[in-house]
Amino acid sequence: MPPAQTHENPPWSAGADRYPQAAAQRSNTVETVLSLFARFIPQAAWSLAGCLAIGSAAPARAADSFPTRPVTMITAFAPGSGPDAVLRLVADKLGKTWNQRVIIDNKPGGGGFIAIDAAKRAAPDGYTLLQLDSEHLAALPHLYKARGFEPLKAFDPVVTLFRTPFMVAVPAASPWKNLSDLLAAAKAEPDKVNFGSWGVGSPGHLGAEQLQLATGTQMQHVPFKEVSQLYLSVGSGDVAWSFASIPSSQGAYKAGKIRYIAVAAAKRIPQLPEVPTVGEAGGPAGMEVNSFVVLLAPRGLPAAVRDKIHADVQAALAEPEIKARFETFAFETLNWPAAEIERQAQIKSAVYAELVKRKNISLD
């Protein structure tokens, strides 16, 4: 009867006492295999470690050489608008830094979705960037609830271009000398005073809704498709007032067609030191209406490429020519990392969610 097979007497040792020569050969074979493992496994481990190191270095090398071909910047803003003008200044500087063409592709309209849809189909490699403002990031999910679209789930923030405050603009011939006069007229005749904006969901629209909510007033909204038409209408008196940035309204302002009676900021701006804040002019204390403009990339952009674009854009914004232009327009540069862009958008989103709900605003 053969011996029982136990841990001490495993199956491959069966019959070793009967065939000593075969057992010895098997022993030599095992020793040879073990020797080969001992020799080659450390080499394989080092080779694997080397491959991993090379793999981890690949994104950094890709960022160092970025870009190797033209970069397209899709913008939701029309040619000639403030964000478009800034983007073209930055693109010109980047083109020289990168030694590559930087193409501006204007796709205004559709609440920003024309530009968004064009950009989100691109690869997350940094060669397609998207310019939006904080209202696209923070208000669109509340205005277009049926779409279920959240921009910051489809795109990675890359860099902030600027932030702009907004003034309260009235016709030059308006009897209102300050914001108290405007609010008194709105309270005296609910729904009679109208205000204009450059579209439903724009900073001008949502800022005015915020003002009404804070003051208990009711005014009529008149949206315009083009910013230039808005300030012509304010200047002519067809629209009683609107929020306005300096670059968008400076034509009408310099022509003497409109006046600024307040700035919706925490403090007066040096470009217009005679214009009081909303709080100083008889409105809600501390009220701010502003918008920040950013560049984004389709979700999944390598961090090293994002960081390079961020650094190069910040360097462009620091150029004297652009700094001088920003000073003229009261644009503020903000060196926010991606996480801060998302945090600031969330703060605005909470405000807009409440406004949209209370005023029953929808674009679905």
* DSSP assignments along 21-53, one per residue: HHHHHHHHHHHHHHHHHHHHHHHHHHHHHHHHH
Query: Cα torsion for 329, 332, 333, 337, to the nearest 10°?
Result: -140
pLDDT confidence tier of residue 364, bands split at 50, 70 and 90? confident
Q: Give per-residue pLDDT as tens, 237-274.
A: 999 999 999 999 999 999 999 999 999 999 999 999 99
pLDDT at 36: 45
- Average pLDDT of 13-23? 40
**Contact criterion met (CB below 8 Å) for 263 and 279:** no
Mind listing the pLDDT tens digit for each residue in 176-204? 999 999 999 999 999 999 999 998 989 99
pLDDT at 49: 52
% of the chain residues with pLDDT over 90: 76
Instruction: Output the pLDDT for position 59.
Output: 57
Within this chain, do residues 173 and 283 fall inside the same structural domain, yes or no? yes
Q: What is the 3-state secondary structure (H, E, C) of 18-29?
A: CCHHHHHHHHHH
Give the CB-side neighbour count of residue 84, counting CA atoms within 13 A. Answer: 14
Cα 168 to chain centroid, rounded: 26
Q: State which of 236, 270, 288 marks the end of a domain.
A: 288
User: Residue 65 above 90 pLDDT?
Assistant: no
Is residue 118 one of the residues assigned to a domain? yes
The pLDDT, as a whole number, for residue 205 is 95
Provide the mean pLDDT of the chain. Answer: 87
Q: Of the candidates 37, 358, 334, which has an alpha carbon nearest to the alpha carbon of residue 212? A: 358
Alpha helix locations (H) across the chain? Answer: 20-65, 82-98, 113-120, 134-143, 151-154, 179-188, 203-215, 227-236, 246-254, 303-317, 320-329, 338-359
Q: Which of 128, 163, 99 is nearest to 294 (CA)?
A: 163
pTM attached to this predicted model:
0.80
Domain annotation covers residue 148: yes
306 plus 158 within the same structural domain: yes
Backbone angles phi, psi at 254, to 5 degrees: -70, -25
pLDDT above 80: residue 88: yes
Three-class DSSP category at 238: coil
Show which of 262, 288, 314 is a domain's final residue. Answer: 288
3-state secondary structure of 200: coil
On whether both 305 and 210 belong to a single domain, the answer is no
Same structural domain, 157 and 172 = no
Distance in angstroms (rounded) separating the CA atoms of residues 306 and 345 = 19
Mean predicted confidence (pLDDT) in 22-43: 48
Residue 340 lies in a domain: yes
pLDDT of residue 228: 83
In sign, the C-alpha dihedral spanning 242, 324, 290, 225 is positive
Tally of structural domains, the chain = 2
Rounded to 5 degrees, what are φ and ψ at 232?
Answer: -65, -40
Answer yes or no: are the C-beta atoms of 142 and 310 closer than 8 Å.
Answer: no
Q: Residue 336 belongs to a domain with what CATH number?
A: 3.40.190.150
Considering the domain boundaries, does residue 312 fall inside one?
Answer: yes
Q: How long, in residues, is the chain? A: 364
Model pLDDT for residues 91-148, shown as the tens digit of each residue: 999 999 999 999 999 999 888 999 999 999 999 999 999 999 999 999 999 999 999 9
Instruction: Say yes or no to pLDDT of 4 above 60.
Output: no
Residues 273 and 202 in one domain: yes
Pairing of strands 258-263, 102-106: unpaired
Q: Which residue range forms the structural domain that includes residue 123?
A: 71-162+293-359
What pLDDT is stored for residue 30 in this prediction?
A: 44
Residue 331 domain flag: yes
303 and 283 belong to one structural domain:
no
Looking at the fold, whether 172 and 267 belong to one and the same domain comes out as yes
On the question of pLDDT at 57 being above 70, the answer is no
**Final residue belonging to a domain, choices 266, 288, 310:** 288
- Domain assignment present for residue 100? The answer is yes
The DSSP call for residue 147 is G
Q: Does residue 299 sit in the same domain as residue 150?
A: yes
Query: 56 exposed, middle or buried (CB, 10 Å; 0-12, 13-18, 19+)?
Result: exposed
Q: Which two tokens stand for residue 339?
A: 């996480």
Q: 62: which 2 tokens?
A: 């890709």
Q: Are residues 91 and 119 in the same domain?
A: yes
Transcribe 67-122 into DSSP letters. -SS-EEEEESS-TTSHHHHHHHHHHHHHHHHHTS-EEEEE---GGGHHHHHHHHTS
Both tokens of residue 316?
């462009």
Residue 228 lies in a domain: yes
Residue 227 pLDDT level (bands cut at 50, 70, 90): confident
Q: What is the mean pLDDT of residues 308-324?
A: 97
Residues 153 and 258 in one domain: no
Taking 70 as the threshold, does the pLDDT of residue 12 lie above it?
no
Sign (positive/negative) of CA torsion 211, 293, 148, 118? positive
Q: Give the Cβ contact number of residue 98 at 10 Å.
A: 18
